[in-house]
Structure 1
Amino acid sequence: MKIKAICSDIDGTLLNSERDLSPRLKSVLSQFPEETPIILASSRMPDAMRHLLRDLNRPSEPLIAYNGGFVINKSGEVMDSVEIPLSLVAGIWELTRKTELHVSLYHGENWYEPKEDYWSKREIQNTKVNPTWMAGDKVLDRWAKENLGAHKVMVMGDSNEISWLFGELNLAYSSELHLYRSKDTYIEIAPRKISKATALKLVLETHYDFGMEDVIAFGDNYNDIDLIQSVGWGVAVANARPEVKAVAKEITLHHKEDGVAATLERMRAEGRKLKSES
């Protein structure tokens, strides 16, 4: 396969044990020509992705944020924006009101946190982004006045309470929302009609002269399944969920062992070998 684009999830896939890009990964990615786009596709907000592109010396690549709900082209313009309606956000908020669960709200370039605690500090450290400190009620009031919804809602807390909430949300909103537990202590919530795969397809159709069959994609979690199934070469890291491995064409090393770099190094070596034989 000739790689014309690289698309990768971030957390649990691209980043190493220190939640950073390894020197090995940066080295192999630097060997791909500029006309081969490196497209990050994540549940993260845009600013939690841009610093990674800067580290790769690729600051002007497209971004697929919020699992495909907010897509930005290489010129920095918003190509697509799909929100969770405010009525559903309010319903989620109401369910968590009498719990100890921590709720983070996201819209576009903005991340709202109700208070500084273990969960917010952890996200700040992991993403290298600082939130706007604002109580959830006030965020919902602001969004009501501005006719906005959420691109993502993230709920964090005790695994038992998370399990309870996941069940309640499935009963109430499974036809309208994507609900997935990225960890036992997390629920990430996005609009039902979006995915990383649909966002990547939009980016390619709008800006490039090739299709999904020419893309290699990497992932580890439930929100990567559609992406890995839709591209020419879908790769699961060794730490991926069993459901992700089941649809992948290749299973590479663990993300802590530079699985993405290992596959790209092999494919580049195979490409050079083919050229020398022709």
Structure 2
Amino acid sequence: MQFKAICTDIDGTLLNSDRDLSPRLKAIVRNIPDSIPLILASSRMPDAMRHLQEDLGRIAEPLICYNGGFVIDSEGQVLDSVEIPFPIVQSIYTLCQGEEIHLSLYRGENWFEEKEDFWSTREMTNTKVIPTWITLEKLLEEWGSTQSGAHKIMCMGESNLINWLFGELHLHFGDQLHLYRSKDTYIEIAPKRISKASALKLILESKYDFGMEKVIAFGDNYNDIDLIQSVGWGVAVANGRPELKAVCKELTLHHKEDGVALSLEKYFG
């Protein structure tokens, strides 16, 4: 099959055991013509993806951020922006008050943190981004005045607390929010109507002369299922969720074994 674009998840898919891009991956990407876009699709914020684009030598490429809630084209223009409405953001903040749950808020190019602790330090290390430090009470006062929402909310804490919170969020907002459990200590929250697949379709319709059937895509988790099902060739890494493996067209090696690089070598080597 002749692919005209590559779209890939990042964490648990593209990155190796050191949460970095392997020399093998960078080598094969260098051999792929620039006319074939490599589109990163992640729950990450833009700046947590741009340094990976630079390392791959692919700085002028579209970005699918916040699982499709914030879509940027190859020229840096915002193609789509879908936020969690402010009243829901406020409700989630209130729900977490009095509990040992760390709350991170993301909007556009910005990541907001109240304090430096175990959770925020780990995210800074993993993403290589420094947040904006502000009390969330003050931030929400500012957002409330303009009814501004969040592109992503991340809740982190001990697994029993996160299990409780997941149940509460599903009960009250399950019809309005995507609730992703990447780990038993994390919940990533996004608007219900967005997805990586819908974001990719928008990018292709806006900037390219081919459709989803010409794309090879890679993923590992629940938020990759729509993407893997919607493209011409969907590939799951060996560490992927069983539900994703059930709908993929190809299974490659574990992300720690350079599964994405292996498949790219097969089709573009």
**Same fold per superposition (TM over 0.5):** yes
Q: Which residue of 2 aligns with 1:45?
A: 45
Q: Which residue of 1 aligns with 2:246?
A: 246
Deviations along 1:64-85, one digit per CA (max 9) or x if unpaired, are 0000000000110111000000
1:20 has 2:20 as partner: yes
Residue 139 of structure 1 deviates from its aligned partner by 1.4
Which segments of 5 or more consecutive residues in structure 1 lack a partner in the other structure?
A: 270-278
Deviation above 2 Å: which 4+ runs of structure 1? none
Q: Which residue of 2 aligns with 1:262?
A: 262
Distance 2:155 2:135 in 1: 14
1:219 has 2:231 as partner: no
Matched residue type, 2:107: H
Matched residue type, 1:78: V
Q: Which residue of 2 aligns with 1:9?
A: 9
Computed over aligned residues only, the root mean square deviation of the Cα atoms, in angstroms, reads 0.7
What does 1:196-235 correspond to in 2, within 5 Å? 196-235=196-235
Which secondary structure does the structure 2 equivalent of 1:247 belong to?
coil
Q: Which residue of 1 aligns with 2:32?
A: 32
Distance 2:257 2:191 in 1: 33
Residue 212 of structure 1 deviates from its aligned partner by 0.3
Residue 146 of structure 1 deviates from its aligned partner by 3.1
Residue 114 of structure 1 deviates from its aligned partner by 1.1
Matched residue type, 2:67: N
Residue 148 of structure 1 deviates from its aligned partner by 1.0
Matched residue type, 2:148: L
Sequence identity (%):
68
Q: Which residue of 2 aligns with 1:179?
A: 179
Q: Which residue of 1 aligns with 2:144?
A: 144
Which secondary structure does the structure 2 equivalent of 1:179 belong to?
strand
Q: Which residue of 2 aligns with 1:272?
A: none
Q: Which residue of 2 aligns with 1:74?
A: 74
Q: Which residue of 2 aligns with 1:273?
A: none
TM-score between the two structures when normalised by the length of structure 1: 0.96
Q: Which residue of 2 aligns with 1:96?
A: 96
Matched residue type, 2:119: W
Matched residue type, 1:96: C
Distance 1:211 1:113 in 2: 39
Which segments of 5 or more consecutive residues in structure 2 lack a partner in the other structure?
A: none
What does 1:49-64 correspond to in 2, within 5 Å? 49-64=49-64
Residue 138 of structure 1 deviates from its aligned partner by 1.2
Q: Which residue of 2 aligns with 1:116?
A: 116
Deviations along 1:111-160, one digit per CA (max 9) or x if unpaired, are 00111000000000000000011121111111112331000000001000
Q: Which residue of 1 aligns with 2:191?
A: 191
Which secondary structure does the structure 1 equivalent of 2:246 belong to?
helix
* Number of residue pairs the alignment of both structures matches: 269
Matched residue type, 2:79: M
Which secondary structure does the structure 2 equivalent of 1:183 belong to?
coil
Residue 268 of structure 1 deviates from its aligned partner by 2.7
Distance 1:76 1:222 in 2: 28
TM-score between the two structures when normalised by the length of structure 2: 0.99
